[in-house]
Amino acid sequence: MPQLDRTFAALVDPTRRAILARLAEADSLSIGELARPFAIKLPAVMKHLDVLGAAGLITREKTGRTVAVRLAPEPMEQAMIWLRRYERFWSPRLDRLAAYAEAEEAKAGGRGA
């Protein structure tokens, strides 16, 4: 379970989740490309990358002076397997919430006509 703990601990931070989302859209990005859209300094981005790397969620490969960062999905797959064991607890509630939202939307749509 230590790997699962590291995965969830890494995913807690919204900046780290945003980094992973960017990597999910690209084969790989340089550290500079990853850091560009964030309103934090490069050393802070590097610390986030260290946490993601320690959790096994990213890999880094240096070619010359450029470091390419790639998503490593295996730890998230293990987290999803763990979460699926508990899906039966929230699925019925989500189904009821969706039905309620659809009913409310139908009522609201009927008023505007």
Exposure of 95 in the CB half-sphere (CA atoms within 13 A): 6
Q: In whole angstroms, how large is the CA radius of gyration of the chain? A: 20
Q: Which of 55, 53, 87 is nearest to 70 (CA)?
A: 53
More confident position, 99 or 70? 70
User: 31 and 46 in contact (C-beta within 8 Å)?
Assistant: yes
What's the pLDDT at 100? 82
State pLDDT tens for residues 61-89.
999 999 999 999 899 888 888 888 877 77
| pTM of the complete model | 0.73
- Counted domains in the chain: 1
Residue 67 sits at φ, ψ, to 5 deg, of -110, 120
The residue range of the domain holding 98 is 1-113
What CATH number is given to the structural domain containing 108?
1.10.10.10
User: 7 and 79 in contact (C-beta within 8 Å)?
Assistant: yes
